[in-house]
Homo-oligomer: A and B are copies of this chain.
């Protein structure tokens, strides 16, 4: 009988958070506790001097199936393994969004024997960071509509050109496109608007790209909420919003310390998605991990073309970070799916399908080499994987001269990741990586997009809609062209078409339009039909979640 993640989590004996903190040399008095097992960490623990010589391990993945391929699980297991090997390691992760928790995917705190604890708290509210981001975002929205209504629109904002929506941390299809301000002159100006999911909020992006509270406040003030009738950008500081927004995030800017099942430190902070935002935890959390531990294992959402590329081009350039190794998580299931096997049949052994799916893995290996990073392939082992299937991948990597190891963290915790940990440790200490971003911020918008599209996605060309072309002109005019790019596209393909599995070639990336995050500091080319607000599935996970009189939660996975 296989235990559920929640049962395994409950069976684990947690240690007081001050014990975990002391492993990182943090004094009890520096902790801001949230219950017995969670604490926020003050920013003073970041020490630029201590970053030197530390090792940063990026965990990325091949193109995933809809279940995800277990990057978080592998990251946790790898950090347990490194700790067993005597390497002082912290795993640094994102905070889960309630959208997937109540929707389809479930929680985001790892799985099996590679989890972070307390998993229910982490998955439900945690320390309120998402709620604060949401509130800060929506305060700006309220001040904006109130400006037009009560302050007689002295900023001359064109209500048709407002780009700042509202956010909610929920899969809320019905709020994607709405009309607000109905009901007559006491209720404001009727206009079209909508909600995005909180993980896609520019406030979340700004939080994750800030170096400190004043940096965050400045970024918040620089947010562009829309344009005047004369097409001049209007920024949040013109609505005097940034002070109150930053005040709401006083504690949110502090990373959260929790523990892995084996009692090692995990730092969890920020939660942008990787298909529609930059998709990795905060610069602050990563730097704090590097200040306090010798190795930091961190993940970036979805595959190397999404979270991976954005981590390396956007976050590493903004945060002046230099990763040492890129772990590429592959699963037998996902490889078979790239050979065209239907989702329901992926548990059936089929070595030929595994082999047929390997070009996808090869492309993600190639992608990491574009950044001059040493790749290590981690095969995240599932109970349904056959030996023959696994051997096919091992043999392929050996032939290619790429380091590879099994990751059995889900089943065995850190002891299931010792090979992987040893391989990663050697690769990191070899000094063979020489991290180089793919583009420089001062390239033109088109140059940046085409570089990512051709080198990372494998596209033949990039096509811009009429609207996108007009927007590029506007960005050039108002000086937004020197910002890095954060392409929004499907996670199910290297292209912008979810149907093009494996390693597509000869395709065109179609830039439909741009969103901007001028405060957080990037522009968002939107490729294909990706949406910034998911919907619930026909059987929402929420229907199975329950709690008993003693406060035990069930149905969370």
Interface residues of A (CB under 8 A from B): 32-36, 40, 98, 102, 120-121, 124-125, 127-128, 131-132, 134-135, 138-139, 141-143, 145-146, 149-151, 166, 168-183, 186-189, 192, 212-214, 217, 239-241, 243-244, 246-248, 250-251, 535-538, 540, 542-549, 551, 553, 555-556
Contacts and interface: CB of A to CB of B under 8 A. Distances in A.
Given A102-B139, A135-B169, 15 more contacts: A32-B35, A33-B33, A33-B36, A34-B35, A124-B250, A125-B128, A131-B134, A139-B170, A142-B170, A143-B540, A174-B187, A174-B189, A176-B182, A243-B544, A247-B545
5 contacts: A34-B34, A138-B168, A139-B542, A213-B549, A244-B545
Contacts of A125: 128, 131-132, 135, 248, 251
Contact of A243 (B138, B214, B248, B555): B555
B542 A143 contact: yes
User: How many chain copies?
Assistant: 2
A39 B546 CA distance: 25
A267 B533 CA distance: 38
Q: Which DSSP category, helix, strand, loop or mixed, fits chain A's interface?
A: mixed
Given A168-B138, A174-B180, A250-B547, A149 B535 contact: yes
Nearest to A175: B180
B540 A146 contact: yes
B124 A149 contact: no
A332 B537 CA distance: 59
Given A33-B33, A250-B124, A536-B146, A542 B244 contact: yes
Given A33-B35, A187-B174, A217 B149 contact: no
Given A188-B173, A243-B545, A248-B124, A98 B135 contact: yes
A32 B239 CA distance: 38
Contacts of A246: 546-547
A13 to B, nearest CB: 16
Contacts of A248: 124-125
Contacts of A176: 182-183, 187
Contact of A553 (B40, B186, B247): B247
Contacts of A170: 135, 138-139, 142
Nearest to A148: B174
Q: For A121, A142, A549, which residue has the most chain B Cβ atoms within 10 angstroms?
A: A142
A177 B168 contact: no
Contacts of A98: 135, 139
Contact of A102 (B177, B244, B250): B244
Given A146-B540, A150-B535, A212 B549 contact: yes
A36 B186 CA distance: 44
